[in-house]
């Protein structure tokens, strides 16, 4: 059973066995990932791409092997993978690179990234703040206009509106693969086609898809994508930026300093080619190596199996919670015909009870869920709520975990006097 691979899942919380349903925020780590990171520090720790001694060579080899492992996992080439601290840094790297291109940095190759008045950046109403605020700031810095694709009443992206908004002035379209609030898998192919049809760059937030389903970024034809290691069994402090090779080569760097240069003079410098030109300073070596082990773990289990199991758990969550009186689940219902695909995530409102109170009640029973706006205030505002309780499952969860959460939500209504 997979649960045995995760040491933390054997502990108790408030006298109850831990039921961890907060993987949408951060995942737990299998023993193999913990062991790999510890072994690196015990046997190989050294600065990468800098030393000529044995440890430095071994560390660099592991570091670059990790890049190749992660690249293969998402249908990319190693030179298309940039290490970042997290997905948020990756999105800001793109945004600030475009700012530098707008200022004339990067030469002729960077011309396609330049923005100005009359140009438009398109996002959606369901975005995590990490895929919204950087584009707001980019619009402010460049004079471009930010436009927003709205949501339908049942929580789907309004593709008709998308087709109207994405037009000849659009230069960039940024959107999530999976909403971290609504749980629905968004129509990537349609959005990429709309973006590329007008020559715009397509940026994908894959934070809620890379851990949970097969992901082939090359086949999806997105121009850039980001995801975080901590949501897919790896440590915190490591993220991934994917970019098509020709775009990474043209994008001016954001962070500068050591490790990303070829020649430095007193008044100007020359930079390494991508991806190293985007990796200034001391790197996240142990975290990258641990992320590669997390990827190997996911590959051993099988992304298709993971997705199928989580879809089952997600459907069970949605149906069980929706059946409770006074409980509303945000986002479209699962559609067995294939009309709506959902992941193992459900954000819900208990009428008459604040989300934080629901979360505390569940925590008293050892059930860990997320409460609040989940860094997606516009999506909550769209549905007339300020906060929700979110249960998010992963490969190590069971139907018993889901049933315990549903039963606890039902009991919370009695406890707070709203049943």
Catalytic positions, please? 375
Q: What are phi and psi of 134, to 5 degrees?
A: -60, -35
Q: Are 4 and 28 in contact (CB under 8 A)?
A: no
Pairwise CA distance, residues 165 & 259, whole Å:
41
328 three-state secondary structure: strand
DSSP letter, residue 11: -
Pairwise CA distance, residues 395 & 1, whole Å:
11
Describe the chain by its helix, strand, coil percentages, rounded to 5: 45, 20, 40
Query: Which token pair is 136?
Result: 């707001």
Burial of 405 (0-12, 13-18, 19+ CB in 10 A): buried
| Angle subtended by helix axes 133-142 and 87-102, to nearest 10 | 10
Q: What are phi and psi of 284, to 5 degrees?
A: -85, 75
Q: Are 200 and 224 in contact (CB under 8 A)?
A: no
Q: What does DSSP say about strands 170-176 and 370-372: parallel, antiparallel, or unpaired?
A: unpaired
Q: Are 314 and 346 in contact (CB under 8 A)?
A: yes
The 3-class secondary structure across 249-275, one letter per residue, is HHCCCCCCCCCCEEEECCCCEEECCCC
Burial of 181 (0-12, 13-18, 19+ CB in 10 A): buried
Count of C-beta atoms within a 10 Å radius of residue 13: 15
- Residue with tokens 């011309």, as numbered in its chain: 111
The 3-class secondary structure across 269-295, one letter per residue, is EEECCCCHHHCCCCCCHHHHHHHHHHH
């Amino acid at each position: 059973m997979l649960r045995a691979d995760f040491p933390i899942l054997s502990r108790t919380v408030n006298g109850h066995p831990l039921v961890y349903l907060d993987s949408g925020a951060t995942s737990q780590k299998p023993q193999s990932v913990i062991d790999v990171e510890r072994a690196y520090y015990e046997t190989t720790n050294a600065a990468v791409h800098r030393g000529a001694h044995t440890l430095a060579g071994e560390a660099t080899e592991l570091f670059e092997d990790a890049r190749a492992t992660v690249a293969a996992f998402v249908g990319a080439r190693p030179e298309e993978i940039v290490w970042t601290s997290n997905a948020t840094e990756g999105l800001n790297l793109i945004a600030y690179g475009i700012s530098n291109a707008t200022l004339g940095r990067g030469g002729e190759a960077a011309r396609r990234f330049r923005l100005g008045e009359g140009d438009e950046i398109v996002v959606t109403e369901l975005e995590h703040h990490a895929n919204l605020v950087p584009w707001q700031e980019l619009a402010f810095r460049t004079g471009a206009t930010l436009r927003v694709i709205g949501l339908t009443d049942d929580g789907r992206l309004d593709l008709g509106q998308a087709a109207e908004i994405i037009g000849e002035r659009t230069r960039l379209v940024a959107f999530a693969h999976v909403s971290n609030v609504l749980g629905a898998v968004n129509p990537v192919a349609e959005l990429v086609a709309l973006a590329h049809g007008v020559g715009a760059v397509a940026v994908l937030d894959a934070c809620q898809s890379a851990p949970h389903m097969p992901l082939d970024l090359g086949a999806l034809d997105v121009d850039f994508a980001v995801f975080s290691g901590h949501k897919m069994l790896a440590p915190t402090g490591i993220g991934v930026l994917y970019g098509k090779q020709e775009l990474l080569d043209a994008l001016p760097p954001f962070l500068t300093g050591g490790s990303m240069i070829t020649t430095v003079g007193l008044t100007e410098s020359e930079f390494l080619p991508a991806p190293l030109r985007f990796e200034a300073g001391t790197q996240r070596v142990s975290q990258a190596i641990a992320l590669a082990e997390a990827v190997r773990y996911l590959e051993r289990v099988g992304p298709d199996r993971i997705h199928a199991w989580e879809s089952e758990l997600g459907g069970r969550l949605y149906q069980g919670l929706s059946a409770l009186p006074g409980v509303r689940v945000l986002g479209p219902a699962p559609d067995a015909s294939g009309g709506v695909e959902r992941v193992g995530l459900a954000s819900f409102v208990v009428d008459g009870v604040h989300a934080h109170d629901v979360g505390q009640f569940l925590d008293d029973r050892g059930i860990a869920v997320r409460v609040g706006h989940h860094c997606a205030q516009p999506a909550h505002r769209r549905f007339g709520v300020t906060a929700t309780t979110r249960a998010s499952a992963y490969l190590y969860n069971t139907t018993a975990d889901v049933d315990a959460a549903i039963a606890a939500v039902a009991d919370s209504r009695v406890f707070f006097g709203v049943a």
